[in-house]
Amino acid sequence: MILDKRYVPYLLLAPFLIHFLIFVIYPLIFSLILTLHKWNISMPMQWIGLKNFKRLFSDYYFWISIKNTLYFLIIHIPFQLIIALGLALILNQKIRFRGFARALFFMPVVVSGVVISILWKELYNYESGVLNRILVMMDFQRIPFLINTKWAMPSIAIMATWKNVGFYLVLFLVGLQNIPDSLYEAAEIDGASNWQKFWHITIPQLNPTILLVVILSSINGFSLFIEPYIMTGGGPLNSTLSAMLYIYKQAFFFNRLGYAATLAFSFAIILFFIVTVQKKIIEKEN
């Protein structure tokens, strides 16, 4: 069979397009329609116009979940950036067991988030956790990692950093290996110190990677769900109620699918705004 050449590109694109239409475009349009409806799955959809948006602005938990998610990002992104970059700088040197160490740091990335959350919940346990046992042995006070409003979100941020740092470490390693040696050689000839080389060569050259890490961390931060779901259930006193956890509660606990879709759209708009600002700031510095 001889195909008309004009159709060949479309045929080749068809698997992607079909997937894209069914799994991206259709849910997106359906969610948009849902924002204007009340729907609990078992009953027919009921048109309610902009009532979901009206509720959103007066919803105390919506604002708390935004505040918590932003707080998580403020702790998580710099922490992630510094640790991943620091480790990448060390593991980019010619040191012993370099390959093993790289694999070791990457391991938490591939382990299930649920498993890691359960393990860390045990580590953080106020009464029987290993960390608190060590603190008591060393004559320190126990830390209420997950049962204190001040400690809970930073504790989750530390755990999330531990889990994801391997991935960003790989990105930084790629970035570091793409910096031409000639730049460092020229700087050395000019008598630059290690700090000057790091500040004036490494950081500017890594700018696209830093931007990528910041954007990916922000997106991942807004997807924060498994950790609070498993470790705290959103408590104590809603201090770890993240945007995703709140959407999940509305959709799958309370069957308010229209309102959950409204929340999801609103969070997506906020995320888009944050990423745009980040992009502007970081690219400006470049």
Please identify which residue in the block is written with the tokens 């490494």. Answer: 202
CB of 145 to other proteins, least distance (A): 10
Whole-number minimum distance, CB 63 to other proteins, in Å?
Answer: 15
Distance (Å) of CA 270 to CA 69, 108, 219 = 11, 29, 11
Residue 239 CB, shortest distance to other proteins, in Å, is 10
Q: Which is nearer to other proteins, 255 or 278 (CB)?
A: 255
Whose tokens are 């998610």? That residue is: 69
∠ CA(155), CA(159), CA(165), 5° rounding?
135
Instruction: State the residues that interact with other proteins by CB under 8 A.
Output: 1, 3-4, 7, 11, 40-43, 55, 118, 121-122, 125-128, 136, 142, 144, 146-147, 232-238, 249, 252-256, 259
Residue nearer to other proteins on the CB measure, 55 or 197: 55
In the complex with other proteins, which residue's Cβ is closer, 45 or 203?
45
Q: Least separation, in Å, of the C-beta of 79 and other proteins?
A: 25
Residue pair 82/195 in contact (Cβ under 8 Å)? The answer is: no
Residue 47 in 3-state DSSP? strand
Residue number with CB closer to other proteins (154 or 236)? 236
CA distance 114 to 147: 19
Q: Supply the minimum distance, in Å, between the C-beta of residue 144 and other proteins.
A: 8
Quickly count: other Cβ atoms within 10 Å of residue 181's Cβ.
Answer: 7
Q: Which is nearer to other proteins, 76 or 256 (CB)?
A: 256
Backbone dihedral angles phi then psi of residue 38, each to the nearest 5 degrees: -105, 125
Is there a contact between 33 and 258 (Cβ–Cβ < 8 Å)? no
